[in-house]
Amino acid sequence: MNSTLEQKVFLALLLVVSIAFGWILFPYYGAVFWAVILAIIFAPLQSRLSPYLGNRRNLTALVTLLVCLIVAVLPVILITGLLVQEGSSLYKQIESGELDIGSFVGDAKELLPASFQLQLQRFGLGDVDQIRERLASGALEGSQFLATKAFSFGQGTFQFLVSFFVMLYLLFFLIRDGRELVALIRRALPLSDNQKRRLFSKFTRVVRATVKGNIVVAATQGVLGGVIFAILGIPAALLWGVLMAFLSLLPAIGAGLIWTPVAIYFLMNGMIIQSVILTLYGILVIGLVDNILRPVLVGKDTKMPDYLVLISTLGGLALFGLNGFVIGPLIAALFMSTWGLFTTAEGKSSV
């Protein structure tokens, strides 16, 4: 009886201490999360570099960290800075009237057939002035948001630098001591050896596949979209490219929500060549990226249904901000994988 009571007290203490530790780390949960994710993604590189560097753990971890910085971290920081600058510039153009979005809507409506304009009237979309005001207001608010982010970023520079340092510091030790930490966690889990092995194997595979499948595909579509927008002389090409990257998670339509209206606008304004180029490029290049890259990066065993990707991404963004872009689909993939292991184990035990 005493041993049972002691065990319960110890488990309660363990739970309280774990919650308190998580509460302490919560202000830097983003830094910790990305350190863990990057450590898992770049662990194979660390394993390959180790023999060439004489199996020196500190040197191998440092070289892997530098590669991670060059490949994954610095490009994101650079693009974010350029995006904020472009958003600020767009806000100034809209506020000064240099860029009149409302006039584009009015010109486009005038080019539509009379029957189509009549249908717009029936659906309450015939008031051009009202549509102008809504679109101009929305564009102004969006660009103003990016402009204020530039100011708030300057105010929160110290917090950003602290989080960035925490991520790099933790990432170094996770790369160097990752195997030992995994071994400690495996010993602590109250599961059989076979379940532990399958669970950790599935976890690392899901993390790498989900992150690569989401980020690489989104980044590729965003870059391709931004490049064609810049070539065709469309303003704020970087901003539209980033939007296409985010929308690439939407099943079937994705980045087409951005380039399709632009192609239609070109067509209605007599810019036939630009419209044809953008349409063919959007269908044959941007549209096929998801079908070609995602199966290669994700694989059949970890691929999630499109509707689950969409719901988990939106939920992740609502709960965790931009980090939810990865956290949401990752949790969904782990949910499916864990239940898959459970149902498999149950099926074997029943047999």
HEC assignment per residue over 115-169? HHHHHHHHCCCCCHHHHHHHHHHHHHHHHHHHHHHHHHHHHCHHHHHHHHHHHHH
Helix axis angle for 256-268 and 237-247, nearest 10°, is: 130
Name the pTM for this structure.
0.70
Confidence of residue 255 (pLDDT cuts 50, 70, 90): confident
Residue 315 and residue 176 in contact, taking contact as beta carbons nearer than 8 Å: no
Average pLDDT of the chain to the nearest whole number: 75
Residues 262 and 162 placed together within one structural domain of the fold: no
Helix (H) or strand (E) holding 232: none
Q: pLDDT at position 119, please?
A: 57
Residues 319 and 236 placed together within one structural domain of the fold: yes
Last residue of a domain, one of 188, 215, 236: 188
Confidence of residue 348 (pLDDT cuts 50, 70, 90): low
Residues 282 and 167 placed together within one structural domain of the fold: no
Residues 164 and 261 placed together within one structural domain of the fold: no
Q: pLDDT at position 264, please?
A: 81
Q: pLDDT at position 170, please?
A: 92
Please report whether residue 313 resides in a domain: yes
More confident residue, 126 or 161: 161
Residue 236 and residue 93 in contact, taking contact as beta carbons nearer than 8 Å: no
Q: pLDDT at position 76, please?
A: 78
Q: Is the pLDDT of residue 282 over 70?
A: yes
Residues 76 and 206 placed together within one structural domain of the fold: no
Q: pLDDT at position 154, please?
A: 47
Residues 142 and 255 placed together within one structural domain of the fold: no
Last residue of a domain, one of 188, 218, 250: 188
Residues 201 and 172 placed together within one structural domain of the fold: no
126: which residues sit within 8 A by CB, 6+ positions away?
117, 120
Residue 60 and residue 53 in contact, taking contact as beta carbons nearer than 8 Å: yes
Q: Which of 41-50, 138-147, 307-316 has the highest mean pLDDT?
A: 41-50
Residues 74 and 146 placed together within one structural domain of the fold: yes
Please report whether residue 1 resides in a domain: no
Please report whether residue 216 resides in a domain: yes
DSSP string, 10-41: HHHHHHHHHHHHHHHHGGGHHHHHHHHHHHHH
Give CA–CA dist 237/15, Å, rounded.
Answer: 50
Residue 42 and residue 176 in contact, taking contact as beta carbons nearer than 8 Å: no
Residue 298 and residue 210 in contact, taking contact as beta carbons nearer than 8 Å: yes
Helix (H) or strand (E) holding 197: helix 193-211
Which of 111-120, 122-131, 170-179, 221-230 has the least mean pLDDT?
Answer: 122-131
Please report whether residue 22 resides in a domain: no
Residues 208 and 106 placed together within one structural domain of the fold: no
Q: Which of 17-31, 99-113, 190-204, 292-306 has the highest mean pLDDT?
A: 17-31
Q: Average pLDDT in the 273-281 region?
A: 89
CB burial string 254-278: b at 16+ within 10 A, e below: bbbebbeebbebbbeeeeeebbebb
Q: What is the residue range of 335's domain?
A: 193-345
Residue 240 and residue 258 in contact, taking contact as beta carbons nearer than 8 Å: yes
Please report whether residue 11 resides in a domain: no
Q: Is the pLDDT of residue 131 over 60?
A: no
Please report whether residue 14 resides in a domain: no
Q: Average pLDDT in the 26-43 region?
A: 86
Confidence of residue 30 (pLDDT cuts 50, 70, 90): confident
Distances (CA, A) of 63 to 10, 68, 161: 42, 9, 21
Tokens of 32: 């910790």
Counting the structural domains of the chain, the total is 2
Q: pLDDT at position 136, please?
A: 54
Confidence of residue 172 (pLDDT cuts 50, 70, 90): very high
Which of 56-65, 272-281, 306-315 has the least mean pLDDT?
Answer: 306-315
Residues 142 and 283 placed together within one structural domain of the fold: no
More confident residue, 79 or 148: 79
Q: Is the pLDDT of residue 101 over 70?
A: no
Residues 110 and 124 placed together within one structural domain of the fold: yes
Q: Is the pLDDT of residue 211 over 70?
A: yes
Q: pLDDT at position 114, please?
A: 61
Q: Average pLDDT in the 41-48 region?
A: 88
